[in-house]
Amino acid sequence: MNRTIKDISENGPFKYFEHHIKYLKILNKWASFKAISDVPTLNNAILKIKKGERSFYYKANNLTTPKHVAPVAFQNIGYGFKKPFNLVNEKFEFYVPEGVNIHNIAFSGKIDHFGNINNLNTKSFSVGEKYYRAIIPIKYEEHNDITIFFKTESLKVDDWSKPIGLLILDKYDIFEYSFEGINYIVIDATKTISFEKFYDQLFKIIYCFAFISGNLYRDELNLFSSTDKTFREIDGFAFKEVAPSIIENLTVIPYRFIRSIKRLKDFDETRITSYSFNIIVNKTISEPELLRCIKLLTEAANLSLELRTSIYSVCLETIRNIIQEKNQEKLFPFKNKPDCRSFIDASKEILAGIPDASFNNRDAVKKRIENINQLGNTESFTSVFKLLGIELNKDDIECINRRNDFLHGRIPFEDIDELRYVADKLFQLVEYLILKYCEYSGVVLNQANLTLARKNMPLEKDKFLLRKI
């Protein structure tokens, strides 16, 4: 993270961004390709393809088959369309590694084929370690730009394109870019890396971004490779359809709202800096349990309240376990495991020397000795919040105590508003712990109380809606 703004301005990542958008615009128009396939019903066929939303469309009209080939023999593999094949013309050479995603057939004297391709790449795309760039178009009207959630650097490039904000991480640049009226989230690897590693870390960054912004952008990935860190020359291209985005998820850091009810001079302390986000990303990359927690949290947005409360309860236990594991010497009765093990072994030896007649239940005593270093159910949660300096109120503790109901499929409410309040409360407790675990300090939203406020319940002070963690 020691690169300067001057260096970034002169050597990327914005400088040649428009080249990539123009590349995509070429693909947005129908173009003819020759298919190269091991399947004779598809080999040498002429296909037309164009990039659409979330996939490439293809069509092959009046497809003919060599006279010596019986097409019915290849019907089970879509006449070759469902097997890997290449597409070649004078400008591009694409590889379709999984065949087409959707294959339709129309009969009009001859066989016409059409459908969707959700995964293709140029031949040289993933060969060796390179610089990689992911471009994710944002096609949603209700979009809050990156500066609402992050304290970013901003650079002016020219009059017709606009880099909205830049996050500088250890190995990645993340920025939002507006070009001819369309916004894009762009994630650049600033050091050479294998595609497999880039692709793995890319999704972890996407989930971290969703954790902060509430928006899980993943409709499609347009991926570019280059041997030049400025991305001046395009070395390779790949397209991947992922899954529908999840938009307007819950977030405890909706800065536009916070800014509207706080003095403007307090605004910066509520936005995530590059430094803070870098910690979140690095921890998520290196800790699978944290990634799993963040994925569950962001993916649950489109589910029912009953499922959300159960998932948030799982997330609460997961992040608690992560923090406990990292802070055993501060949280558990024994500071270290070896001393605890010695005490347990010595106690079990004493127990073994006591006659059975002295016990109503020897096994119960043995079990308590084994669990001597465990905290009580509620205490195991409250102690973690206390360690991180997060003060819990009565509603928080009551919500924590109810998590077992949700974990076991019990819904202790008939009132949907009460259930929504508890779901929002569980969500924000999980987010508070993750943020503090990742060293964030600042103002966050009391999401549960905001839900009540939107139902016209009276609010006494701003503090009812905001918390400092």
Total domains present in the chain: 3
Task: Give the model confidence (pLDDT) of 147-192 as tens digits.
Answer: 778 877 766 555 444 656 788 899 998 988 877 778 889 999 989 9
Q: 440 and 366 in one domain?
A: no
The answer to whether residue 248 is domain-embedded is no
Q: 395 and 284 in one domain?
A: yes
For position 81, what pLDDT does the model report? 95
Q: 106 and 91 in one domain?
A: yes
Burial class (CB in 10 A: 0-12, 13-18, 19+), 288: exposed
Q: How far apart are the first and last CA of the chain?
A: 26
Domain end marker among 348, 370, 392: 370
The pTM is what?
0.87
pLDDT in tens, the chain (469 residues): 455 555 665 555 566 788 888 899 999 999 999 999 999 999 999 999 999 988 999 999 877 777 787 888 888 999 999 999 999 999 999 999 999 999 998 876 677 899 999 999 998 888 789 999 999 998 776 667 787 788 777 665 554 446 567 888 999 989 888 777 788 899 999 899 999 999 999 999 999 999 998 889 999 999 999 998 888 888 999 999 999 998 876 777 765 565 565 554 555 567 788 899 999 999 999 999 999 999 999 999 888 888 999 999 999 999 999 998 888 778 777 778 888 888 888 888 888 889 888 888 888 888 888 877 776 677 888 889 998 999 888 888 888 888 877 877 777 677 777 888 888 889 999 999 999 999 988 878 777 777 776 666 555 444 467 778 8
Q: 448 and 341 in one domain?
A: no
Instruction: Report the distance separating Cα 132 and Cα 126, nearest Å.
Output: 9
The answer to whether residue 11 is domain-embedded is no
Domain end marker among 106, 122, 138: 122
Q: 87 and 57 in one domain?
A: yes
Task: Give the model confidence (pLDDT) of 361-385 as tens digits.
Answer: 888 888 888 877 776 677 888 889 9
User: Whole domain around residue 352: which residue ranges?
Assistant: 335-370
Q: 388 and 263 in one domain?
A: yes
Q: 411 and 351 in one domain?
A: no
Q: 260 and 115 in one domain?
A: no
Instruction: Report the distance separating Cα 131 and Cα 195, nearest Å.
Output: 9
Q: 400 and 345 in one domain?
A: no
